[in-house]
Structure 1
Amino acid sequence: MIAMATLSPYIYSADARKQADFYVSVFGGEITSIQSYGDLPGMEESKKHLIMHLELQALGLRFFMADAGIEANDRGTGMDLALTFKDEEEARTIYDGLAIDGDVIMLFERMFWGTMLGRVRDRYGVMWQVATET
């Protein structure tokens, strides 16, 4: 038997709502669910505004997000989120949107194997690879 699963990025943030709004502006889609710590009984007043779980539907994908709170938000360097598009113009639009106030790591250019590929660290420190199909 082969197991089947769905992989969804879960992004911890200093301000999940603001970051999710940025992704909606870049990807389109919508925030479909938000739960705050204020939904929990007995939560202290100072933490009630924090996002416990947010769900964003965009690009046919599901992204989860939450406020990191007082925990360090170190992204490390061991993982990128990779988005692959059939349409080069759509890929370039997404790449350019993610690069706004971010850091371009690799320009969105044609690779020797034929696809377009670019790498960017968005304004929230998330690493993205944006590519086209072969």
Structure 2
Amino acid sequence: MATLSPYIYSANAREQADFYVGVFGGEITNVQSYGDLPGMEDSKKHLIMHLEIQALGLRFFMADAGAEANDRGTGMDLALTFRHEEEAASIYSGLAKDGEVIMPFERMFWGTMLGRVRDRYGVLWQVATEA
């Protein structure tokens, strides 16, 4: 058995992690900076080497990546599926705040709710309800 955890590279991992905790609930459970490494130059000590968020029963990882964080491509979305429509709608709205709605959160012809959004940090999300 395995678990799959998204690892999101960011231009400002701490700020982005605080945004996700605000949207998802949960908490930041681990933060390691490059300052924890012996011999790291002072100009990089404040950068996040590894951060963990526990939220929605999931674990998300993050790290600062500078300019490379903005080159996400379009080949992958992070998909969240919820049992209850109200929770899904709340998460979708939170992710969409100051982001870009790609597909409104609406009932699909197969019966579930689904929406797609690019959050303010450029991460693509699909938020859905269970069948």
Task: Report the TM-score range of the alignment, normalised by the length of the smaller protein.
Answer: over 0.9
**Equivalent residues of 2:11, 2:69 under 8 A apart:** no
Q: Give how far 1:73 is off.
A: 2.9
User: Hey, what does 1:11 align to over in structure 2?
Assistant: 8
Find out whether 1:87 has 2:84 as its counterpart.
Answer: yes
* Amino-acid identity (%): 86
**Equivalent residues of 1:82, 1:130 under 8 A apart:** yes
Match of 1:43, SS?
coil
Distance 2:12 2:113 in 1: 32
Q: Which has the higher helix share?
A: 2
Kindly provide the amino acid, as one letter, of the partner of residue 98 in structure 2: D
Kindly provide the amino acid, as one letter, of the partner of residue 7 in structure 1: L
**Equivalent residues of 1:102, 1:122 under 8 A apart:** yes
What stretches of structure 2 of length at least 5 have no aligned partner?
Answer: none
Count how many residue pairs are aligned between Structure 1 and Structure 2.
131
1:1-134 matches, within 5 Å, as 4-71=1-68, 73-134=70-131
Distance 2:25 2:72 in 1: 24
Q: How large is the Cα RMSD of the aligned pairs?
A: 0.8
What stretches of structure 1 of length at least 5 have no aligned partner?
Answer: none
Match of 1:71, SS?
helix
Distance 1:41 1:22 in 2: 30
Distance 2:45 2:83 in 1: 42
Offset from partner CA, 1:98-117 (integer Å, 9 cap, x none): 00000000000000000000
- Closer, same or farther: CA 96–70 of 1 in aligned 2, 3 Å: closer
Q: Give how far 1:70 is off.
A: 4.8
Q: If the length of structure 1 is used for normalisation, what is the TM-score? A: 0.96
